[in-house]
Every structure is written in C-alpha cells, then in structure tokens.
Amino acid sequence: MSEHPVSPQRVQAELERLRALIHHHDYRYHTLDAPEIPDVEYDRLFLQLEALERAHPELITSDSPTQRVGSQPLGGFVQVTHDIPMMSLAKVFNGEDLQDFEVRIRKRLDSDADIEYSCEPKIDGVAVSLLYENGRLQRAATRGDGVTGEDITHNVRTIRDVPLRLQQNADTPFPARLEVRGEIYMSRAGFEAMNAEAMKTGARTFVNPRNAAAGTLRQLDPAIAAARPLHMFCYSVGIFEGAGLPPTLSESFTLLQSWGLRVNPERAVVTGADACLAYADRLLQRRASLDYEIDGAVIKVDRLKLQDELGFNARTPRWAMAYKFPAEEVSTQVRDVEFQVGRTGTITPVARLEPVFVGGVTVSNATLHNMAEIARLGLQIGDTVIVRRAGDVIPKIVQVITPQDSKTPRIPVQMPTHCPACGSEIEPAGEVLFRCSGGLVCPAQRKEAIRHFCARGALDIEGLGEKLIEQLVDRDMLRDVADIFHLSGEELAGLERMAEKSANNLLAAIDKARSTTLPRFLFGLGIPEVGEATALVLAQHFGNLEALQSADQAALEAVEDVGPIVAAHIVHFFSNADNREVIRRLQAAGVHWPDVELAQQSQVLEGQTFVLTGTLELMTRDEAKARLQALGAKVAGSVSKKTTWVVAGPGAGSKLDKAVELNIPVMDEAQFLTFLQTS
Ligand code: D41
C-alpha cells in the first residue's frame, strides 16, 4: 500500500478494473475453454483483488469473484416455484422409435420438409434453473418435480462455470431477465479423486458422480460445494424478457455462450432422424473418453417456431427426445460369493451374479477385491446390488439395495479356512489380504504363475492362453513353467480344440520364446511386487541373473526404487530351492538372454521430461517409462511448458492437443523406439 491515502474513487476504479479482468479470464477459462493467461497470473490478480477488498470491506459487492462462498441459508432450503414449469424428456431406446418420433413430428407439422435437430449429450447430473436479472445471478434452483424446486443459490454461486454476472455482448445484449436451464454435474476425474481422498480419511464416499453432485447441492454449507469439482452445461432458455431471442436453439446456444454461460461443445445440428442416430452412435463411441457421465443423446427440433407449433404433451415437449444409451448401472442379485486364488496365492472374493446387461455387455461376475470391501458395502449373499460397468473397466458392485422387506435369505460372506483349489490352509497376509499357503502345490497358483510367465510383458508365448493352460495343468502335462519347453506335438494333439496347425504354431512360439531378455525373464518369474519396471531396473543394475540371485537384502535395497519389502520378496524367492531348480531347468531347456549393460552409464536424457499418452502397442507403458528413466529422463503425467517430448500412441486425447497447442514435439511409438535405440 502507498503511504498516501488513495482516494475512494481510485480504489473503486481499481476494484472494478480487477473484477472485470478476473471476470473476463473466468469467461475465457470456464466458458470458452481458451485461457489467455497462465494460472499463476490469474491467481495474482485474484490475490490483488482480495487484498484490496480486505482493506476496503465496505466496497465488497456480492457479485465480486471473491464472493463465491457466502453464508449458508438460514432456516434451511426455500421452495421455489418455477415461473415456467421445467418439463421432462420423453425417451427412446432404439433407432426405430427415434424414426417414429420424426414421423409424428412431420404428421403434426403436416410437412415432409427436412427437419433440423440440435443434438447434445444427455448429462447424468442434476437439472437446475439459473435466473439472471440485469445480468446478475439472482437465484439458482433445482428442477425438483418440475413445478417446485429448492433454492440452491448459495451452492451454485461456488461453481466457477456459472458466471455471477453475464458477459457484455455488444451485438446482442442479454435480456433484463433471463432464465437458463441446464445440468450440474461432477467431473469423472474430480469424482475419482474426491472418493480416493475420502477413502483415505474415512469420510463417506459416493456411489457415482451424479449422486455426488446431488448430495453436494443438498448441503447447507456452501464451503462444501466450493471444495468439490462441480460444473454446469446449459441446455435451454426459460424466461427471456427482452428482445433478441434468435430463431433457432443452436443460435441461442451461441448467444448463451457469448454471455458467459457454458454450453456443451459436443453439440451439433443435423438434418433428419438418420443423422440424429449417426450423431448418437458417434457420441456413444466417445462416451468413455468424456470427463462427465452421459446416459444418452438429447435430440431437439432446432427451429423455435416449429417447437412452438409442436407444443407439449402433459409432461414432455413434443419437439424433444432423449435417446438413451445402455445403462452403466443396473441392479441384480448376488447368487454366491466364491474365492479365487491368484498367482501368489492371494485369495480374492468374487460375486457370482444373476446375469445382467450393463454398459453394453452381459455380466455375471464382479470382483469384490477383499474382505474389507465386502464389509464396506455391507454385502451378503442373496443381496440385491447395483452393478456398474462404465467404459471398458471391470464390473464392480457399488451399492447394496436389498429392500427391508426382502424375502430372500441373506448369508454372510466368510473367508474360507482352506484353499478352494488345493485345500491348503489360508493364512492372513497383511491388513485385509489372505493367502493360500500351498505355494506351487496349489493348481490355481500354478495356473496363474504359468499364465503370467507366458503373458505379453514376460516371455510372450502367443497361443498359450488361459484355457489351454487350464487344460494342461489339469491333465498334469504342465506342473511348472519349465515343463512348457518339453511339450511335444503328440501331447498337444490329444487336447480339445487343438488342430495340428495350431499345435505347430504353438511349438514354434514356444521355441521362439527360448530367446528372451533378462528383464522379461525376471518379470515372468512372478516374484511378488516385481513388475515390469522393477524387473528392468534390477536387470540394469545387476547385469546378469547370477549377480541378482546372490544379492542380499542390503545390495537389493541399494537399487533405485527397490524398497525393503520388494528386496525381501526377491531374497525369499531365490532362497527357495524349488524356484532355483525351475530356473535351472528353464536354462537347461535352452531359455537364454544376453547380459544387460550396466546402468550407471548413459544419463543422456538427463533434464528432459517425457509425457506418454495413448496406447503403446510394442511395449507397455511401464516398460517405456522404465527405459526413459534408465536414461535419466523424467516421465510426467501431464503436458506443460516444461515437457520436452510427448510420445503419442493411438487414442491420444487432450494431452496430445495440449502438446500441439504448446508447440511441444510429438513422436509416435515407432519413432520412440528408434529414439531409445539411438540414445
Ligand atoms: O443433459 C441433459 N440431462 C438434458 C436434460 C439436456 N441436454 N436437455 C434437456 N432438455 C430438456 C427440455 C427439452 C425439456 C428443455 C434436459 C431436460 N429437459 C431435462 N432434464 C431433466 C428433466 C428434463
């Protein structure tokens, strides 16, 4: 602060200048997704404004960007009656019914002219109404039953996507009163992060982003909403008092955006029902890559005059339709809980479900992870549950919803005392885990160990998959991984679904796998906690297998990224005579690899930062990361000005966009391989 008192007019002007600037940058960032200044500069402006307001609290206005978190409403939520009721959406589940929708529209309009539709994603969030008077946010309310909702202004004010005042637009000023409707949602990434944090602190977790958004908006204390990743897309105009409403919905969207309201960037105008279907199909393909959950596409007649002509049914407009996607959450019943034995003997409970169609596939199993998860869910056999399968992720049970008066008997889930595969005793292993004590006596562990040995990042034996391993172990043709190299054509010919050609192919693949690399071999051994990256670091540190086998705990802990637990697993593994014998037999059967050059050498990529994005096809992401790190490079999760290179595989998304935007060089996987070989 200067020593001379500043005139109140000067302070007022400076406050206005800062607020207008911040307002402008909020618009660039939140509405247009096109920031003009870096975050630090924005923060600096914000801090300046806060400091000035602290010195002059009498000049604080309620629409100042600093005032998003206000006080909580006294006496709870106030009911709001919507001036114009908020309608529902009619829905269809297939293309035929969508075609019928168009037929009905044509009939009612008595026209066979082409109809243009404005299409957009159907956000799975909470429908709300925002009321602006003279450009200031006056009130935000939930849709409620469409006629009356609740006043949630205190929470909605905290959402950065929602402008506290509308942006001036010289061409088309905003009307004196404007009500917009839209959907408030929680971003997927934000939801995951919030739940992960809640798990750690023991706070309550939410079942899905929609429930999290709804639960947040129901809070009285706006500080809670302020701390949560809520966003909003606007999808329709209610009250519009003033001139300038354009003739189409799509143009209204552009107008709303120019006033600072956020509209969905996936929206599109298309002609005819077929094109709507094509839009919906494209959107369905993109579903998993969006940072918000959607449950369909919304198709709306674009021309407002036609909307007026079509009018409404009792609850729904005749000019709009939701085209619903397959549900990602459905309810079903838990028939049983069984226990699976993993590669290292870990026992995992798996729910056997009444088969259900969810997220586009039929699901009859869901992993339950461990006993703590079962306790957290309060799950018992016989329960009715919600199963969720979003994108390509494995199905999981998110909630028990057994009705109070259910007649189905409920049976508590208990960890068995003996392994279901081999009968050995099950013992606790850590806080929530249990393990079969049978080791390689246990056929389940043997199968898993062999499967792991043959997997892509390990010896990569094509054709030796789960089903075949199952058969071979059950017939006692494979007892351990060394037996793989003694399989004969005659033996294989006796198996189910094994033609001579596939037997020959398999033998060729096995033969090819004899020549491998030390990191692959180490990874394939399946030492607990030794993943691909650790296997690579170990290989580079010790150079050959003998050196690694004879390393003690201290020598292992000296390896970068190897902690006491991993070191102990390695020592334990190599001290086991059975394991050493298997390795000896593998080598005797001709499995070999070149020694690895020791790592201390080239730190040629020191000071460089890489970002990996998209799918890598020739190596795994862990492998790519380990190789870069071995050359001294850093591998970061997001692209910034500090990034030196971006390696982009198929399906690369926003990180690639960001790299292009920041002018950061990009290489594909083939170029990356050459780069590694020449570095
Ligand atoms: O994204 C949505 N959930 C969404 C909901 C949307 N994109 N458009 C919508 N349009 C309407 C009309 C056509 C009635 C203005 C809606 C909804 N309604 C809606 N949301 C909840 C009930 C109705």
| Ligand 1 site-directed mutation target among 117, 179, 181, most atoms within 8 Å of CB | 181
Q: What is the position in ligand 1's atom list of the atom closest to the CA of 124?
A: 3
Residues 234 and 255: their CA atoms lie apart, in Å, by 12
Right CATH for 8-67 from 3.40.50.300, 1.10.1530.10, 3.40.50.1820, 1.10.287.610: 1.10.287.610
Residue 571 C-alpha to ligand 1 middle, in angstroms?
61
Residue minimizing CA distance to atom 4 of ligand 1:
122
Residue 49 C-alpha to ligand 1 middle, in angstroms?
37
Q: Is 127 in the pocket of ligand 1 (CB under 6 A)?
A: yes
Residue 128 C-alpha to ligand 1 middle, in angstroms?
10
Which of 173, 222, 198 minimizes the C-alpha distance to 72?
A: 222
Residue minimizing CA distance to atom 7 of ligand 1:
122
Q: Is 263 in the pocket of ligand 1 (CB under 6 A)?
A: no
Residues 545 and 536: their CA atoms lie apart, in Å, by 12
Q: What is the pLDDT of residues 617-638, one digit of tens each?
A: 777 787 788 888 878 888 998 9
Residue 26, classed as helix, strand or coil, is: helix
Residue 565 C-alpha to ligand 1 middle, in angstroms?
53
Q: pTM value?
A: 0.73
Does 8-67 match 443-588 in CATH topology? no
Amino acid, single-letter form, for residue 151: D
Right CATH for 443-588 from 1.10.10.1100, 1.10.3720.10, 1.10.150.20, 2.40.50.100: 1.10.150.20
- pLDDT for the residue numbered 362: 94
Please list, in sequence order, all residues whose beta carbon lies within 8 angstroms of the beta carbon of residue 225, skipping any fewer than 6 positions away: 154, 155, 156, 158, 159, 216, 217, 219
Q: What is the pLDDT of residues 391-434, one digit of tens each?
A: 767 899 999 999 989 999 999 999 999 999 999 999 998 888 99
Report domain extents, the chain. Answer: 8-67, 91-324, 329-400, 443-588, 609-678
Is 407 part of the annotated catalytic residue set?
no
- pLDDT for the residue numbered 2: 46
CATH architecture of 91-324: 2-Layer Sandwich (3.30)
Domain 609-678 sits in CATH at 3.40.50.10190
Write the CA distances from 513 to 237, 484, 493, 499, 516, integer angstroms. 64, 10, 21, 21, 6
Residue 86 C-alpha to ligand 1 middle, in angstroms?
9
- pLDDT for the residue numbered 1: 46
Residue minimizing CA distance to atom 13 of ligand 1:
320
Residue minimizing CA distance to atom 9 of ligand 1:
235
Higher pLDDT, 679 or 236: 236
Residues 514 and 90: their CA atoms lie apart, in Å, by 62
Which of 526, 525, 522 minimizes the C-alpha distance to 595?
A: 522
Q: Is 322 in the pocket of ligand 1 (CB under 6 A)?
A: no
Q: What is the pLDDT of residues 177-200, one digit of tens each?
A: 999 999 999 999 999 999 989 888
Residues 589 and 631: their CA atoms lie apart, in Å, by 34
Domain 329-400 sits in CATH at 2.40.50.140
Q: Is 296 in the pocket of ligand 1 (CB under 6 A)?
A: no
Q: Is 183 in the pocket of ligand 1 (CB under 6 A)?
A: yes
Please list, in sequence order, all residues whose beta carbon lies within 8 angstroms of the beta carbon of residue 577, skipping any fewer than 6 positions away: none
Q: What is the pLDDT of residues 489-510, one digit of tens each?
A: 988 988 888 888 889 999 999 9
Q: What is the position in ligand 1's atom list of the atom closest to the CA of 125?
A: 3
Q: What is the pLDDT of residues 274-311, one digit of tens each?
A: 999 999 999 999 998 899 999 999 999 999 999 999 99
487 has pLDDT over 60: yes
Residue 63, classed as helix, strand or coil, is: coil
